[in-house]
Amino acid sequence: MKKNKTSNERWYIQELTCPGLLHRNALQFGDRRFQWWRLNKRETASNTYAEVWQLVKELSSGLISLGFEKGDRGAIICHTAPQWVWADYAILCAGGITVCLYPTLSEKEIKFILQDSGSKVIFVQDEVLLQKVLNVKHETPVEKIIVMNESTSDESKSVTNFAQIRKSGIKLLAEDRHIFEKRWRSVEMTDLMTIVYTSGTTGMPKGAMHTHQSFNAACCRDMRQVPVYGDDEVCMAFLPLAHTYERECGHGIAMMTASTIAYSSPVTIVEDLQIFKPTIFMSVPRIYERIYMAMREQTSKSPIKKKIFEAAINTGLQVVHARSDEKGFIDMREGIDFTENLGPWLKFKYRLFDRLVYSKVRHLLGGRYRFAFSAAGSLPADLCKTYMAMGIRIFEGYGATETWNTINLNWDYKVLPGSVGPLCIGVEGRIAEDGEWQVRGENIFLGYWNNPDATNEAFTEDGFYKTGDIVEEVADGYIRIVDRKKGLMVLDTGKNVPSNKIESLFSLSKWIDTVVPVGSERKYVTALVIPNFDAFIELFEKEKIDYDKSKLIKITEPAPMCIAVGDDFIQKDILRKMIDADIQAANKELEEYETIKKYTILTKRLTVNDGEMTPTLKVKRKVVLDKYADLIDKMYN
């Protein structure tokens, strides 16, 4: 049965502009902790909602003193950090429109977005990003660059910093006490709030326009469906704030519920889970895969521990199966007895493994974990069930930049692994004749900035947004994402092969990091295969297998990993044997025409910095296929 909630428990569902939201929190929850971050390995710092309101007031007034008018665009290029929010709300409270840039963008992409948006000012996180912007500034309308520090090494007139902008704001407020108050209160729900440029998997990015109304509608939509937020929630943020997912589902809901936001990164997430002990966070399938594999490694360091872990997972999956109804739905509400109605032997094993394994895994999440969300890609059903088996709740949903995220979301009392759930309350959806998911609601974007042709192409005549995703209904209105329309491979035999179906079969592989299927207009399916280099390095060291260490290239962000190896590395017999075993195991799960007939092992990971993946870690298929066209052709000759 659905668990009903009274309106008082969801007091936070309100219609507010973004300035109105921050003002409400400062007024009603001024002494409540807002942002929480690490200073170093041992020390943290935090601020309150009242403190941030005052800081934003000074920064925003500083922008106004520069001649920043209502409707002007202000850009931000910064990793996820408290300062991102300060800059965002400084722009919004000045009546401006925030333009989001990923720190990983090339100078060419930065120039395009600044030109296209007509951004008047830009906030930059540090000296490295300052230099990137300075290199293209002369070709953009940017008048002022604001470094998000108390000082900067650049002393040119076009560059300033937080301290100077706040100083200018304080001076203006001394001259006109009400200028800030009048400006933020002039912002209306229908005013443009932000321009969010899509990841640009094909061509240059398009700027999706959202209003304060569409942002608020998105937050209210989510808060109606997710479990009730309490007064002591800690929401941990590590995904890019330049993306709508963290900005709305993470920060938006946290602020609507006056919760604490703790700041992390993919590099420090494991340590930060223990420091901040979050109750809720947002993530993407790739990171859930990495977290699971790290847990598996940590709890399987000896042959005996490995057998115990495997037995624990098998037992947990038996419990998940036993608790599923005839359609596969599982009740994952908080407080339920996971062993209810189980046979005595299965109940005994589950409770035993809960003490030996599951509780330790949950402890790795900080000990206060309630639930998390997964989006920006399909969460494999097996991975979802594996987390469920350990009592870890992950609710999968579906959305896009253009929809301010969630269109579909699994209910906590009725989770269907492998599905993105039913339509959210207040959203309309339909499946077109070609299988495309089309949606309509107040959370949908207005259109693409400066791109009327793309806007017209994005909507049907009756106002439904064309998502570009092929879906199928599985049960009770729940849908499953089959693939992107552009990811659906059509063989020259006319057979349709979803690339996503093949990719998902390798999500829990220890030895394979990424598989990029190929097959459009070809006779059969092939694949580019990127090994998990770190796993093989560990294996080679253990087995004393020699390889050229000078060819290794390692990085620390977005997570510590090896991203490139020498050709000798991938020629090792043991590597090729392990890779082939995983490929053949996946082929057994596919129709004959979907199976991988040939594959090529690459010596380099796909990365965001090289433009091969989006900031939410989705493969840019066109970029990758173009880059490795010669290797692909060889598999067909």
pLDDT for 618 equals 83
pLDDT for 202 equals 52
Q: What are phi and psi of 441, to 5 degrees?
A: 170, 175
Indicate whether 41 pLDDT > 50.
Answer: yes
- Residue 245 located in a structural domain: no
Indicate whether 2 pLDDT > 50.
Answer: no
Query: pLDDT class for 346, splitting at 50, 70, 90?
Result: very high
Q: Are residues 57 and 171 in the same domain?
A: yes
Q: Are residues 505 and 614 in the same domain?
A: yes
Q: Are residues 419 and 497 in the same domain?
A: no
Q: Model confidence over 185-229: pLDDT tens digits?
A: 999 999 999 999 986 555 578 999 999 999 999 999 999 999 999
The dihedral formed by the CA atoms of 108, 111, 113 and 118, expressed in degrees to the nearest 10 = -160
Q: Model confidence over 94-130: pLDDT tens digits?
A: 999 999 999 988 899 999 999 999 999 999 999 999 9
Tokens, residue 401:
């930049």
Quick one: which of 518, 361, 336, 352 has its CA closest to 412? 336
First-last CA distance in the chain: 58
Q: Are residues 515 and 626 in the same domain?
A: yes
Neighbour-count burial of 203, counting CB atoms closer than 10 A to its CB (0-12 exposed, 13-18 middle, 19+ buried): exposed
Indicate whether 3 pLDDT > 60.
Answer: no
Q: Degrees (nearest 5) of the Cα angle 329, 335, 231?
A: 115
- Residue 435 located in a structural domain: no
Tokens, residue 398:
């579906």
Average pLDDT on 21-27 reads 98
Indicate whether 344 pLDDT > 80.
Answer: yes
Indicate whether 143 pLDDT > 70.
Answer: yes
Q: Model confidence over 473-527: pLDDT tens digits?
A: 999 999 998 888 877 888 888 888 888 889 888 988 889 999 999 998 899 999 9
Query: pLDDT class for 290, splitting at 50, 70, 90?
Result: confident
Q: Which helix (H) or strand (E) holds 110?
A: helix 107-117
Q: Are residues 506 and 626 in the same domain?
A: yes
Helix, strand, coil shares, percent, the chain, to 5: 40, 20, 35
Q: Are residues 536 and 422 in the same domain?
A: no
Using an 8 Å Cβ cutoff, are 391 and 350 in contact?
Answer: no
Neighbour-count burial of 623, counting CB atoms closer than 10 A to its CB (0-12 exposed, 13-18 middle, 19+ buried): middle
Q: Which domain covers residue 371, as residue numbers? A: 282-426+478-485
Average pLDDT on 627-632 reads 94
Domain of residue 581, CATH code: 3.30.300.30
Q: Model confidence over 369-378: pLDDT tens digits?
A: 999 999 877 7
The number of distinct structural domains making up the chain is: 3
Tokens, residue 145:
């660059």
Indicate whether 462 pLDDT > 80.
Answer: yes
Using an 8 Å Cβ cutoff, are 239 and 282 in contact?
Answer: yes
Average pLDDT on 360-367 reads 89
- The last residue of one of the domains, among 187, 215, 233, is 187
Share of residues in the chain with pLDDT > 90 (%): 77
Average pLDDT on 237-260 reads 96
- Residue 35 located in a structural domain: no
Q: At what angle do helices 533-542 and 573-587 cross, to 10 degrees?
A: 130
Contacts of 500 (CB under 8 A, 6+ apart): 378, 481, 482, 483, 484, 487
Quick one: which of 360, 350, 352 has its CA closest to 296? 360
Sheet holding 525-531, edge to edge: 512-518, 525-531, 596-601
Q: Which DSSP string corresponds to 199-222?
A: --SSSS--EEEEEHHHHHHHHHHH
Tokens, residue 30:
């001024």
Separation in Å, CA 276 to CA 46, 201, 334, 401, 533: 11, 34, 21, 29, 31
d(CA 492, CA 245): 37
pLDDT for 4 equals 44
Indicate whether 6 pLDDT > 70.
Answer: no
- The last residue of one of the domains, among 134, 158, 187, is 187
- Residue 363 located in a structural domain: yes
Q: Are residues 414 and 499 in the same domain?
A: no
- Residue 445 located in a structural domain: no
d(CA 309, CA 305): 6
Average pLDDT on 160-184 reads 97
Mean pLDDT is lowest, of 282-286, 364-368, 594-598, 626-630, for 282-286
pLDDT for 26 equals 98
Q: Which DSSP string corresponds to 568-586?
A: HHHT-HHHHHHHHHHHHHH
Q: Model confidence over 594-626: pLDDT tens digits?
A: 999 999 999 999 998 888 888 778 888 888 999
Q: Which residues on neighbouring strands pair with residue 497, listed in sequence order?
A: 489
Share of residues in the chain with pLDDT > 70 (%): 98
Which range, 52-56, 200-204, 383-387, has the best average confidence (pLDDT)?
A: 52-56
Distance of CA 162 to the CA centre of its chain: 28
- Residue 194 located in a structural domain: no
Q: Are residues 419 and 519 in the same domain?
A: no
Taking every pair of Cα atoms in the chain, the longest distance, rounded to a whole number of angstroms, is 76
pLDDT mean across residues, the chain = 92
Indicate whether 566 pLDDT > 70.
Answer: yes
- Residue 81 located in a structural domain: yes
SS3 326: coil
Q: Which residues on neighbouring strands pair with residue 447, listed in sequence order?
A: 209
For tokens 């009740």, what's the residue?
Answer: 331
Average pLDDT on 149-157 reads 81
Q: Are residues 172 and 76 in the same domain?
A: yes
Average pLDDT on 373-387 reads 87
Domain of residue 169, CATH code: 3.40.50.980
pLDDT for 203 equals 59
- The last residue of one of the domains, among 187, 207, 223, is 187
Q: Model confidence over 303-340: pLDDT tens digits?
A: 898 899 999 999 999 999 999 999 999 999 998 998 98
pLDDT for 364 equals 87
Q: Are residues 543 and 418 in the same domain?
A: no
Look up residue 615 and give its DSSP letter: T
Which range, 163-177, 295-309, 608-622, has the best average confidence (pLDDT)?
A: 163-177
Q: Are residues 396 and 499 in the same domain?
A: no
Q: Are residues 499 and 392 in the same domain?
A: no
Query: pLDDT class for 5, splitting at 50, 70, 90?
Result: very low
Average pLDDT on 442-454 reads 96
d(CA 540, CA 527): 25
- Residue 7 located in a structural domain: no
Indicate whether 76 pLDDT > 60.
Answer: yes
d(CA 101, CA 78): 8
Mean pLDDT is lowest, of 248-257, 276-285, 299-308, for 299-308
